[in-house]
A = this chain, B = another copy of it.
Amino acid sequence: MKILLDTLGSDNGASELIEGALMALEEKDFELTIVGNEEENKNIVNKRFENKINFVNAIQVIDNNESPTKEIRSKKDSSMRKCFDLLNEDYDGFLSTGSTGALLTGATLITKRLDNVARPCLMVVLPTLKGQTIILDVGANVDVTSDLLEQFAKMGYIYAKNVLGKSDCKVGLLNIGVEEHKGDSLRLETYKKLSSYPYFKGNVEARDVLKGDFDVVVTDGFSGNILLKSLEGTVEFFNYMIKSKMSKLDSETLQMILPLVKSMSSGMDYHSIGSAPFLGTRKPVFKAHGSSDRVAIKSGILTLIKFIEQDITNKIDKELKNE
């Protein structure tokens, strides 16, 4: 298995990404190609896993400040563009912390969509009270139609059934109330379209997503991103408050509650998510947070490998063609 890692565009620099990839190599056997500043990357790797790692040099970076969707087309020597071009050859998967917009454009124009897919979408798996719930789209498509949301629902359903093993998969539409008449015109239209699918179980409010009654929550990329980042921000806020309260405790009390605090925050550990796949592309393209640390990158690469091993791309393709 051959995996591509783009080391440009991360908030934490190349070393955090590479250390994460090396941690993944300690757990799984695969071939890693690191695309970025070759000299710098070689120094970071420092001959570890020597026979499993290749380097490709690229110093041009696609950043968030200009128009990333244009740049992926024009900057042919950028690390991200090189990864997309290599992926089309004999690579199996690609992970980047770069611009979501550029990745979506690259995934659509270079990797290309599966036959029956109108637009790829970005999904995450959240830990909930009852297990795991898929949210999609979480940021790839901000201006959408009810037809697109219908397709996201189908892809999410297929992923949940096949990857997460949800045989009785329940799909919900993210909305501001559970009643059928709730929401904006997009939601009203989508509700009607989804009603013909037996696995569609109605609207779900943002406050109920983590309860886990729905296996798949469908929404546009704008609202999905707000949902996800509001959740992340609240967890950060909690962690900050816990730390500030703990700093005022004596060491004996601290010793006593530390395991409790750790076990609490592990349930909301977004490091264990690590990355988000684009669904609907011909080969897997994974987006990781720009601020990902090595643990998040390791976890992201391991998820990408699982995605490849379980042949999700073909499963989605087959199921969409069967419909």
B residues within 8 A CB of A64? 177, 179
Stretch at the interface among A1-9, A51-59, A193-201, A219-227: A219-227
Give the contacts of A202-219 with B (CB-CB under 8 A).
Answer: 205-211
Select one of B210, B236, B249 contacting A237, CB under 8 A.
B210
A151 to B75, CA, bound (A): 40
Query: Is A67 an interface residue when CB atoms closer than 8 A count as contact?
Result: yes
The answer to whether B238 touches A225 (Cβ under 8 A) is: no
Query: Is A167 an interface residue when CB atoms closer than 8 A count as contact?
Result: no
B residues within 8 A CB of A236? 207, 210
Contact-size category for A: 35 or more
B residues within 8 A CB of A185? 143
B residues within 8 A CB of A223? 222-223, 226
Nearest CB in chain B to that of A266: its residue: B241
A268 to chain B, nearest CB (A): 7
Give the contacts of A182-199 with B (CB-CB under 8 A).
Answer: 183-185, 187
A167 to chain B, nearest CB (A): 25
The answer to whether A241 touches B264 (Cβ under 8 A) is: yes
Query: Is A242 an interface residue when CB atoms closer than 8 A count as contact?
Result: yes
Query: Is A176 an interface residue when CB atoms closer than 8 A count as contact?
Result: yes
Select one of B227, B238, B257, B268 contacting A268, CB under 8 A.
B238
Most chain B CB inside 10 Å of its own CB: which residue of A233, A246, A257: A233
The answer to whether A233 touches B260 (Cβ under 8 A) is: no
Q: A143-B185, A226-B226, A238-B238 are in contact. Are A233 and B210 (CB under 8 A)?
A: yes
Q: A232-B207, A264-B245 are in contact. Are A176 and B222 (CB under 8 A)?
A: yes
Select one of B142, B209, B260 contacting A230, CB under 8 A.
B209
Select one of B187, B211, B230 contacting A206, CB under 8 A.
B230
B residues within 8 A CB of A142? 176, 183-184, 187
New A-B pairs, 4, CB < 8 Å, besides A205-B229, A206-B225, A256-B257: A142-B187, A223-B223, A234-B235, A237-B268
10 contacts across the A-B interface (CB closer than 8 A): A176-B225, A205-B233, A207-B230, A210-B237, A223-B223, A226-B227, A228-B230, A234-B234, A238-B264, A242-B264
Which chain A residues have a beta carbon within 8 Å of chain B's beta carbons?
64-65, 67, 128-129, 139, 142-143, 174, 176-177, 179, 181, 183-185, 187, 205-211, 221-223, 225-238, 240-242, 245-246, 249, 253, 256-257, 260, 263-264, 267-268
